[in-house]
Amino acid sequence: MRRLARIALAAVIVAGVGFGFLLWRADEPGGIDDAYTAAFGPADLGPVDFEALERPGSPNDALACPADVCPDEPDFVTPTYDVPGARLREIVAAVAADDPAAELVYSGRWEETDRYVVRSRLMRFPDTVNIRIFGAGPGRSQLAIYSRSQIGYSDMGANRARVARWLEEIERRVAAEG
């Protein structure tokens, strides 16, 4: 019995050291990012169609959307901003660039969409953040943000907190222009 306990303890220690090594390597070849890709697929979960978006039943996503765009109930209803769409997109890109964990992985030149992968600090879990700008008349625009986790059932509110933080900063920057 004691021998079995020692073997189990040794296995746990070896696994812990191996996982620690993967975390230490992070985004380097052979690091935790590669391990997640091998286990769960690419970190970028791809595009979303906001007008037809069906959210999963799991609590690991957050949606900010104009009231008349998304069929699912958004966590945040975004306003119509008094800036042109191109300028709103620049503001959103600047806010995302200020997030040190965010990496731009796609920018749609014509469809007014951008996509980011944002990784958690400690475990480097990847979340995909989809952004879309909608025109709302001359000099006005609307914004949709959908942030979702690739790994796990719950994200402990990380996506919701990120969307709230980004929206607050976007609104502050838009107001500063007015």
If asked whether residues 120 and 59 sit together in one domain, one would say yes
If asked whether residues 10 and 65 sit together in one domain, one would say no
pLDDT computed for residue 5 by the predictor: 66
pLDDT computed for residue 57 by the predictor: 84
CA 125 to chain centre: 10
Give the chain's domain count. Answer: 2
pLDDT computed for residue 10 by the predictor: 60
pLDDT computed for residue 36 by the predictor: 73
If asked whether residues 29 and 98 sit together in one domain, one would say no
If asked whether residues 29 and 53 sit together in one domain, one would say no
pLDDT computed for residue 129 by the predictor: 97
Contacts (Cβ under 8 Å, ≥6 apart) of 87? 141, 177
pLDDT computed for residue 114 by the predictor: 97
- Measured CA to CA, the distance from residue 22 to residue 137 in angstroms comes to 49
Residue 7: domain span: 1-41
If asked whether residues 97 and 28 sit together in one domain, one would say no
If asked whether residues 61 and 34 sit together in one domain, one would say no
- C-alpha distances in Å from residue 138, one per residue of 63, 81, 119, 134, 142: 26, 11, 36, 12, 12
Using 70 as the pLDDT threshold, list the residues of the chain that sit under it.
5-6, 8-30, 32
Find the farthest-apart pair of alpha carbons in the chain and give their distance in angstroms, rounded. Answer: 76
If asked whether residues 31 and 14 sit together in one domain, one would say yes
pLDDT computed for residue 147 by the predictor: 96
Q: N- to C-terminal Cα distance for the chain?
A: 73
pTM for the structure as a whole: 0.85
If asked whether residues 99 and 11 sit together in one domain, one would say no
If asked whether residues 85 and 145 sit together in one domain, one would say yes
If asked whether residues 126 and 165 sit together in one domain, one would say yes
Q: What is the DSSP string of 25-55?
A: HTTSTTSHHHHHHHHH--S------GGG---
If asked whether residues 72 and 125 sit together in one domain, one would say yes
pLDDT computed for residue 12 by the predictor: 64
If asked whether residues 10 and 46 sit together in one domain, one would say no
